[in-house]
Chain A
Amino acid sequence: MKALCWYGKADVRVENVPDPELINPRDAIIKITSTAICGSDLHLYGGFVPSLESGDILGHEFMGEVVELGSSVKNLSIGDRVVVPFPIACGNCFFCERKLFSLCENSNPNSSLAETMWGHSPAGIFGYSHLTGGYAGGQAEYARVPFADVGPMKVPDGMDDDDVLFLSDILPTGYMAAENCDIEPGDTVAVWGCGPVGLFAIKSAFLLGAERVIAIDRVPERLELAREWGAEALNYEEIDVPEALKDMTGGRGPDACIDAVGMEAHGHGLPGFYDRVKQAVMLETDRPIALRQAMMCCRNGGTVSVPGVYGGFLDKVPFGSVMNRAITIKTGQTHVHRYMRPLLERIEKGEIEPKAIITHRLRLDDAPDGYKIFREKEDECIKIVLKPGEA
């Protein structure tokens, strides 16, 4: 089958690889009809995530048709159309029982690697380096899905792939980020990053009752879409964001701040330069520019919600500000399984239209170009969806 494989920094290629096979009784094989490139895939593309091996298949946002089932999977049938959540969860452990699916204790066969790096291991993830298990990803024609009796969700007839694909990752991610803000009526929420996750966080914040959402980015078409969805947009290359946030909130600061940017934050001025230099000489693995701002700008006692992906260590984080002002930090990889059905309902009711963010639909063969376009934000790109079935 064809698959998008990683070979090095900014080197991804579509190669011919063996088809996946059933290994465990709870596996399923999915024939992939739609799959997307995620902002966090760009961290892999840029070589920021350790433990990638040459030839690894990327991709963790995918859906398709069940073509093979392990002997223990009773809730699915061959031919079912399913969306697959990106974290792999067993359903039986301490964390799965508490619906903390991205913390599953049983799905990462390389948990010792993750333990060395992070103290304990979270769940395995599709296509996201050997730290999270080295599972072959979904930017391919087929994928092996472990614990298929827990993860994949059946798609109702009459809904296109594009309507539901984002239930695999970014829509639940934006939603959980907003949910973590514990929004109360009258709240103002500030969102750093108007990429797909940030946009869904903005939408979700309104759905969860926020009165105002302030969106921060520098890419014009993304700020425009944020405005269309009801946010007040700030371009950080033109405006001093901390000052603006103070002005807009009567001096107090937003009630909650969402960092939907993560470790590859684009820095402006001296802080940006500082982080780039430190990263280049490997004294810092991640660039927390947006996070620092989110922490400092948040009102006393507010919440900083971090869906943005970080991998290693941060430098010069204003923890004094966090501690002395009782800031709550909520973060984590999304517990996708928990949100898929409730969000599907909202899509069916017309409260959200996920496909509005899709700007590019490409064949799998064009995926390498897709990565480049997505990273450089060329061609007014916001979200790219790949269609492996289409020649």
Chain B
Amino acid sequence: MRADVQSSGPERLNSFLGWFSLGLGLLEVAAPQWVAKNTGLGRRRAGTVRLLGARELLSGAAIMTRPRSPVGPWSRVLGDAMDLWVLSGALNARGRSKTRAIAATAAVLGVSALDVAAAVKSNSEESLLGSGPMCANETVSINRSPEELYRYWRNFSNLPKVMSYLRSVEVRSDVLSHWTLETPVGTTLEWDAEVTFEKPNEVIEWRSTEGSDVWTTGSVRFSPLPGKRGTAVTVEMTYRVEGSFLASVMNSVASLFSEEKLRQDLRRFKQLMETGEIATTRNQPAGRRSGETWLDQLAQLSSTAG
């Protein structure tokens, strides 16, 4: 937790929701019959209430331990949906049960509104890693000279061969380029980037230009390894999709994989530079309908055939 941060609106909301989750969860687990009766579900649903309580406690724990992460608030939203679904069954009851169910539903809806607000806010400000926009930093050793590697990378139109999901990079001038990315869900994102700093055979730094839909910075460093063992290539990238609600959901999901994806991309770069090709087992025969298994897909995390 950063010490300089004052308790802001969103943080107080998160905190309230965290305590609320813990309190409600405790109640549901400790006194499920009472809760079941007073929300119109009926005593017999005590078991269900206990389960809901357990989930509530988990959400609360998630919020309290990771106050900046969207995981907690989103799990609450999911939990609200579950609660509403359980309650909807009770709305068919009669008399006092029905009244209680209606009251409980109204209460859950009210809290849901707060939860959704909290979740969206946490999304747009933080990644799932809780440390700002999606950020990844990886190093790989490549058995080639810094000059050779720098030359390849500096021609950004080569990068789609290295970075999965990058469909194309169009070099427009010495410093400007236009990038097109294809997301796993099939949509495309485009942005312009400019080289902000370079030192031949050592460093290249770039960032997206003002007003782009995607905010990204990147840097690559080439340093000779001791003992003439080639070059250490260190890449750092940060990445955030601006604007829509859907974008912030995508950010959260994508950030789960960003370090691993960058590591895979650098491995691809190494294979290309050292062996001239990229190792793959796609489309090879097997005694099952499709050649590539989910394990391969997870491990290779790529949409292009190497």
Contact = CB atoms under 8 A, between A and B. Distances in A.
Contact of A24 (B229, B267, B280): B280
Given A23-B282, A133-B281, A90 B287 contact: no
A144 B284 contact: yes
A53 B293 contact: yes
A146 B306 CA distance: 14
B170 interface: no
A20 B284 contact: yes
Given A53-B293, A94-B141, A111-B267, A106 B286 contact: no
Interface stretch (B77-85, B100-108, B176-184, B269-277): B269-277
A366 B278 CA distance: 36
A146 B279 contact: yes
B13 interface: no
B285 A109 contact: no
A147 B143 CA distance: 17
Interface stretch (A54-62, A297-305, A370-378): A54-62
Contacts of A17: 285-287
Given A106-B275, A111-B267, A112-B264, A134 B281 contact: yes
A21 interface: yes
B264 A5 contact: no
Q: Classify chain A's interface size.
A: 35 or more
Interface residues of B, number: 34
B113 interface: no
Nearest to A57: B286
A124 interface: yes
Contact of B275 (A56, A92, A110, A130): A92
A94 B143 contact: yes
Contact of B279 (A94, A97, A107, A136): A107
B300 A109 contact: yes
B288 interface: yes
Contact of B286 (A23, A55, A146): A55
Contacts, number: 121
A112 B274 CA distance: 19
Contacts of A20: 284-285
Given A54-B288, A112-B260, A135-B284, A25 B295 contact: no
B154 interface: no
A134 B285 contact: no
A106 B299 contact: no
Contacts of B275: 26, 90-93, 106, 147
B45 interface: no
Contact of A110 (B230, B274, B300): B300
A51 B295 contact: yes
30 contacts: A3-B287, A13-B287, A15-B287, A17-B287, A20-B284, A20-B285, A21-B283, A21-B284, A23-B282, A23-B284, A24-B279, A51-B295, A54-B288, A56-B286, A57-B285, A72-B276, A90-B275, A94-B229, A105-B274, A109-B299, A109-B306, A110-B296, A111-B267, A112-B260, A112-B264, A112-B300, A130-B293, A134-B281, A136-B284, A136-B285
